[in-house]
Amino acid sequence: MGTHRRPKPPSRARIATIGMAAGAVSLLPTQSQAAPKPTVDEVRKQVELLYEEAEAPTEEYNGIREKQKELQREAERARERLARKQQEINELREKIGPLAAAQYRSGGIDPSVELFLSGDPDDYLHQAEMLDRTSSRQADALRAMQNMQRELAQERATVQEQLQDLQETRAKAKEKKDEVQGKLAKARKLLNSLTAAQRAKMEADQEREDAAAGASDSAATYNGPASGRAKVALDFAYAQLGKPYEWGSTGPNSYDCSGLTGASWRAAGVSLPRTVKQQYDVGRKVAKSDLQPGDIIYWYNDNQHNGMYVGNGKAIHAPRTGKNVEIVPLDSMPFFAASRP
C-alpha cells in the first residue's frame, strides 16, 4: 500500500483571496440590511425633480379653482333668480285669491234665473259684465302663474346641474391639491432624512449656485429700459424679490409663478387669466430675438412655468417651493416661448 498523502495546505496568496471573497460576500446587502442612504447630491436632485413635477398639477389646480369660483358665482346668481321667481308666484297667488273668491260667490246660479231674481236688470247686466272681466283676469293670472312655475322648475334644474358641476370641480381640485401636497411631502421627507450638517451643505451649495446665476434675494428697484405699463409691471415684480414661492398663491406675501406674472401686470392695469396655459393662450407671441422687458417667458412648455423678461438676458420669476422670487439668466431653464400682454 502506498503512503497516505496529506492535502497540500493552501498558500498565503490563496488564503488572502478567499478572505477577500468572504469579506466581499459579507458586505453585500441582505434583505434584512437597510438600503444605503442617498447622498446629499442625490437628495437634492430628487427634491428638485419632485418640485418640478409639482408645477404642472399646481397650474391645473389653479385653473380648476378659477372654474370653481365662476361656478359658485353662477350658482349664487341662479339662487337669486329662483328667489325672485318664487316671490312673483307668491304675489300672483295673493292676487288670484280674491278673484277666485268673487267668481265662487257669483257662480252656481243659472244666468236666466239670476236675471229673473234681479230687481234691476241693468244692474244685473253690469255685474255680469264685471264678473266676466274678473273671470278673464283670473284666467290670465293663472296662465301667468303656470308659466312662472314652469320657469321656476327649469331654473331649479339649472341650479341643480350647476351645483353638480361645482361638486365635481371641487373633487378635481382636491385631487390636484393632494397630488401636489403628496410630492411636497415626499420632498420634505427626503430633506428630513439629511443630517443638520448635510442640510447646511445643501443650502450653501444652493446659495452659491444662486449667486453664480445672479439671483437676488431682496426687493430691488427696476432700472432697465422698460417704459409704460411694462415698467409698472416690472417695478411691482422687483418689489416682490425675496418673497417666498407658495403654490396656488397670488400674493401679496407669497406667489407661485403665474401668480407673480398675473399680479405684476394687474398692477399695471392689465388683467391676465390665472394659469400659465391661459396666459400663454391670450398673449401675443413674440420671438426670442424680439424680446422686450415685461414680456412673459414660458419655460419647458406652454403650461408648466413662467416669469417675466427684465432685459439683458435675464428674467424674474417665482421658482418653486423652498425658494424665493429671484432673477435668473433667461436660459437657466429650457426656453419655450414668450408673449406680450
The CATH number given to whatever domain includes residue 106 is 1.10.287.1490
Domain annotation covers residue 56: yes
Residue 97 reports pLDDT greater than 80? no
CB within 8 Å of 332: residues ≥ 6 apart: 213
**Residue 140 and residue 178 in one domain:** yes
Cell numbers 429671484 correspond to: 326
Taking all residues of the chain, what is their mean pLDDT, rounded to a whole number? 80
Alpha-carbon span 250 to 25, nearest angstrom: 57
Residue 181 reports pLDDT greater than 50? yes
Looking at per-residue confidence, does 222 or 203 come out higher? 222
**Residue 158 and residue 220 in one domain:** no
* Amino acid sitting at position 163: L
Last residue of a domain, one of 157, 192, 227: 192
Residues 103-107: contacts with CB under 8 Å, at least 24 apart: 103/131, 103/134, 103/135, 103/138, 106/131
Last residue of a domain, one of 159, 192, 225: 192
Residue 105 reports pLDDT greater than 60? no
Domain annotation covers residue 211: no
Q: What are phi and psi of 328, to 5 degrees?
A: -135, 160
Distances, alpha carbon 169 to alpha carbons 64, 183, 247, 256, in Å: 7, 21, 19, 21
Residue 156 reports pLDDT greater than 90? no
Q: Which of 12-21, 50-59, 110-119, 235-244 shows the lowest mean pLDDT across its residues?
A: 12-21
**pLDDT tens by residue, 305-328:** 999 999 999 999 999 998 999 999
**pLDDT tens by residue, 11-22:** 444 333 333 333
Domain annotation covers residue 133: yes
Alpha-carbon span 314 to 145, nearest angstrom: 67
**Residue 335 and residue 236 in one domain:** yes
Q: Is the dihedral of CA 197, 201, 204, 210 positive or negative?
A: negative
* Amino acid sitting at position 204: A
Residue 231 reports pLDDT greater than 80? yes
Alpha-carbon span 295 to 315, nearest angstrom: 9
Asked whether the whole model's pTM tops 0.95, one would answer no
In the chain, how many domains are there?
Answer: 2
Distances, alpha carbon 173 to alpha carbons 10, 66, 73, 106, 199, in Å: 72, 10, 17, 64, 33
Give the residue-averaged pLDDT of 285-298. Answer: 97
Question: Using an 8 Å Cβ cutoff, are 233 and 202 in contact?
Answer: no
Give the residue-averaged pLDDT of 256-282. Answer: 97
Domain annotation covers residue 210: no
Looking at per-residue confidence, does 149 or 248 come out higher? 248
Residue 158 structural domain? 41-192
**Residue 267 and residue 312 in one domain:** yes
Domain annotation covers residue 269: yes
Domain annotation covers residue 32: no
Strand 314-317 to strand 326-329: parallel, antiparallel, or no bridges (unpaired)? antiparallel
CATH of the domain at 229: 3.90.1720.10
Give the residue numbers marked as catalytic: 257, 305, 317
